[in-house]
Structure 1
Amino acid sequence: MNLNDFVISEAILPDLSVSSKEDAIRAMVGSLRECDAIQADDEDSIVSAIMKREELGSTGIGNGVAVPHTKHPSVDRLIATVALAHDGVDFASLDGGDVYILFLLVSPPDKPGDHLRGLENISRHLRSQNFCNFLKQAKTREDVVDLLREADEDQLN
């Protein structure tokens, strides 16, 4: 499974400017709605599901990265988007630091394997300091798409 198999490139937010975790999640889910990856009627329900997941423990995994995620019956396949918050967002991260790179995933409840593979794929790439540094420097949606494609190609080699 490659990043470009499930990241909706039209929903990428290369310059997210928000003041809270919930605002970040709302903006990212909104971007999925704007490009028709989810229905408007499901937007609030998806945000609520992700926030409920955050109550179990922050998905701010440290090193300036967060991976908010949920399973939701409104989607029929794993979808994701990426946001870059150049000013940082307080995500109650495990290391106490702000978050600059966010990957948001939504998957169907009946495909837990896809959900886990998506999380695993993202986590593997985010362990690379080079990948994170290049993402933090990205300025446009195209920059992010190019970095995701390069990461997918590196994974094959």
Structure 2
Amino acid sequence: MKFADFVCKKAICPKLAATDKPAVVRELVQSLVDAGEIKAETFNDVVAAVLQREELGSTGIGRGVAVPHTKHASVEKLCGAVGVSQGGVDFASLDGDPVHLLFLLVSPPDRPGDHLRALENVSRQLRDDQFCRFLKQSYASEDIWELLEESDRNQYTS
């Protein structure tokens, strides 16, 4: 699965304003609402579902990366937002480091395969130190989108 299959280009946040986990989740979910991927009336429910998932264990996977995610009946297809926090956010990551790169995934409950493939793709690509470094240095949505597209191309040509 490619980033282009689930990341909503209009839900890329190159300069997250939030400084704590709940606020970052709200900001990323709002970006999906603004992009038309999530209905405004389900905003609070989706935020609550993501935060409830975080209570099971942090999705801060280390090395400055977090992949908050949930399944929610209000979405018809997998959708994702990308956020970059220049200052870093405490996400209770496995390594204890602040998180700078966030990929929020929301998928319908009846599509677990898509959800798992997206999580696998994100975690695989974010193990690439150079990719992460370039993402962290991106200050525009278009730059982030280009990096995601390049990652998609490299993934399927190597």
Normalised TM-score (structure 2): 0.98
How far apart are the structure 2 equivalents of 1:123 and 1:92? 17
Residue 44 of structure 1 and its aligned partner are, at CA, apart by 0.4
Equivalent AA in structure 1 for residue 89 of structure 2: V
8 Å CA contact 1:17–1:87 kept in 2: the answer is no
Residue 105 (structure 1) aligned with residue 111 (structure 2): no
Equivalent AA in structure 2 for residue 150 of structure 1: E
Question: What SS does the corresponding residue of 1:12 show, helix, strand or coil?
Answer: strand
Give structure 2 stretches of 5+ with no counterpart.
none
Q: Name the residue aligned to 2:11.
A: 11
Q: Name the residue aligned to 2:81.
A: 81
Residue 68 of structure 1 and its aligned partner are, at CA, apart by 0.1
Q: Name the residue aligned to 2:129.
A: 129
Q: Name the residue aligned to 1:146.
A: 146
Equivalent AA in structure 2 for residue 137 of structure 1: Q
Q: Name the residue aligned to 1:114.
A: 114
8 Å CA contact 1:76–1:108 kept in 2: the answer is yes
Question: What SS does the corresponding residue of 1:116 show, helix, strand or coil?
Answer: helix
How much is the aligned-residue C-alpha RMSD, in angstroms? 0.5
How far apart are the structure 1 equivalents of 2:17 and 2:89? 8
How far apart are the structure 2 equivalents of 1:115 and 1:149? 19
How far apart are the structure 2 equivalents of 1:96 and 1:31? 27
How far apart are the structure 2 equivalents of 1:124 and 1:22? 25
User: Aligned residues, how many?
Assistant: 157
Q: Name the residue aligned to 1:62.
A: 62
Q: Name the residue aligned to 1:25.
A: 25
**Which string of whole-angstrom CA distances, capped at 9 and with x for unpartnered residues, describes residues 29-77 of structure 1?**
0010011111001110000000000000000010000000000000111
Question: What SS does the corresponding residue of 1:83 show, helix, strand or coil?
Answer: strand
Residue 132 of structure 1 and its aligned partner are, at CA, apart by 0.4
How far apart are the structure 2 equivalents of 1:38 and 1:27? 13
Question: What SS does the corresponding residue of 2:10 show, helix, strand or coil?
Answer: helix
Question: What SS does the corresponding residue of 1:85 show, helix, strand or coil?
Answer: strand
8 Å CA contact 1:7–1:82 kept in 2: the answer is yes
Equivalent AA in structure 1 for residue 59 of structure 2: T
8 Å CA contact 1:78–1:106 kept in 2: the answer is yes
Residue 17 of structure 1 and its aligned partner are, at CA, apart by 2.0
How far apart are the structure 1 equivalents of 2:68 and 2:99? 12
Give structure 1 stretches of 5+ with no counterpart.
none
